[in-house]
Amino acid sequence: MARRYDPDRRRRIIDAAIRVVGSKGIGGLSHRTVAAEADVPLGSTTYHFATLDELMVAALRQANEGFAKIVAARGAFRDPDRDLADELTAVLGEWLAGDRVGVELEYELYLAALRRPALRPVAAEWCEELAEAVADRTDPVTARALVALMDGIALQVLLTGGEFDAPYAREMLARLIP
């Protein structure tokens, strides 16, 4: 029997992994649960991702794309005429107002890096990319502090189930900007 050409299979497996983590958490993620969710043979998941860490890296990288798209769409970090605290607040607010399940999933994968060293470089990517973009408007140390503050605010919103408080976020961010 000829092998069926399926160029989107890898992406479907990653999407399925994201759905599994979204519904069952990291503990529910396995090649078997992902294969069932993606409706592919178990061998397909292990063909594309030899280890669960490889699959989680791909899922986290894809989840990070949502935040990166918001940052890229704003494109105002380099504009000296735009208020940096306003721009950072807008990015954070837009991200948290979007797909809440997706944001929670991204953080679940992000925090999984505490126990899975293979995830650490990918978990750090969004912080580094945002800090690089912000550093064009301030110094690198302040840029890292701003990103850490945004990360902390996002975690507080997610953990408390509260609403994003844009005026608070804007004021706290502005306090760090020289």
What residue ranges define each of the domains in the chain, with the CATH number in brackets?
1-50 (1.10.10.60), 63-176 (1.10.357.10)
The residue among 25 and 150 whose pLDDT is bigger is 150
Q: How far apart are the first and last CA of the chain?
A: 66
The string of DSSP codes covering 17-50 is HHHHHHHH-GGG--HHHHHHHHTS-HHHHHHH-S
Which amino acid belongs to residue 8?
Answer: D
Residue 69: predicted pLDDT: 81
Q: State pLDDT tens for residues 76-104.
A: 677 888 899 999 999 999 989 987 777 88
Question: Taking Cα atoms as reference points, which of 86, 69, 72 lies closest to residue 133?
Answer: 72
| DSSP structure class, residue 178 | -
Q: State pLDDT tens for residues 98-149.
A: 877 778 888 888 888 888 898 889 888 878 888 988 898 899 999 999 999 9
